[in-house]
Amino acid sequence: MTLKEFIKKYINILNKKGIGNPLYFVAKLISEITAIPISKILIDDNFIIDNKLDKKLRKIIIDDYPLEYITNKVTFYDYEFYVDNNVLIPRVETEDLINIAKEIIQKYNYKYIMDIGTGSGVIAIILKKIFPNIIVYSTDISKDALKVAVKNAKIHNVEINFIHSNIFENVPENIIEKIQFIVSNPPYVESEYYYNNPSLKHEPKIALEAGSDGQDFFRELVKYKKILKKHMLFETTEFNIDKTAKILSEYGKIKIYNDSFGVKRFVEKEGEL
């Protein structure tokens, strides 16, 4: 079918989603998927949408499937990364996490850092690119997520030490001793919110859902007594950041940071030098 026929077929759905300019919206999606310039698509009155493209567009428009999982790419911190449905799609707020981590690493001249729950690897990779001389370790409970992170590290030509582990479960003692600074965007979504938020349904549950109060990860983290004196920085959410701060405050001085939108989102637990 043609582009115009496609829009006519799905116009009710597009309108319900509040798409003000359906022609431009769909043309932009096509451009992202096919790399055909959007201007070329718009001026072609008979632009054809074949079955393969039709299937991809319907997944996005009808099922809210993320465009990034179809194109297998996302731009983050001005770099392009590979993503698929084994990892979270990096959000802009996590760029703020990296900026805070950057300041901490510079201030204390840290040489050994760890990214817990690395997912696509964006935090570890960007910090390694900013500080080429630091040693970076990254863990993830998901082997499939680690494959994505390894792929991205190769794309960006950086050396990251990846470890398949639930937090510190499989991390050797000698590495734990070396680590000076821990940074993480861990699971922090409350179960009720996760199951009632359709926008999250296509992203990996294991990287998002963290129990009835969103604190399962942090309760598990503090079981590893040997790391409780380490300097730490976490991303969380405005809805339960105070709960996270309370848990971590038992092990050191806490500082809360806002993201670029003025929302309380990051918790730093200072280390013992």
**CB of 104 closer than 8 Å to CB of 268:** yes
The SS3 assignment for 222 reads coil
pLDDT at 192: 86
Pairing of strands 135-140, 74-76: unpaired
pLDDT at 201: 87
Q: For residue 13, give its domain range.
A: 3-63
One domain, residues 53 and 129:
no
pLDDT at 256: 97
pLDDT at 82: 98
One domain, residues 89 and 147:
yes
Number of structural domains the chain divides into: 2
Measuring CA to CA, which residue among 113, 10, 119, 128 is closest to residue 61?
Answer: 10
One domain, residues 127 and 27:
no
One domain, residues 59 and 138:
no
One domain, residues 44 and 151:
no
pLDDT at 199: 77
For 39-56, b where at least 16 C-beta lie within 10 A, e where not — what string?
A: eebbeeeebebeeebeeb
Residue 71 lies in a domain: no
One domain, residues 260 and 197:
yes
CATH code of the domain covering residue 114:
3.40.50.150
One domain, residues 210 and 93:
yes
pLDDT tens string, the chain, 273 residues long: the values are 999 999 999 999 998 888 889 999 999 999 999 999 999 999 998 899 999 999 999 999 999 999 999 999 999 999 999 999 999 999 999 999 999 999 999 999 999 999 999 999 999 999 999 999 999 999 999 999 999 999 999 999 999 999 999 999 999 999 999 999 999 999 998 888 888 887 788 999 999 999 999 999 999 999 999 899 999 999 999 999 999 999 999 999 999 999 999 999 999 999 875
One domain, residues 53 and 152:
no
pLDDT at 272: 77
One domain, residues 57 and 100:
no
Task: Tally Cβ neighbours within 10 Å of residue 183.
Answer: 28
pLDDT at 273: 59
Residue 76 lies in a domain: no
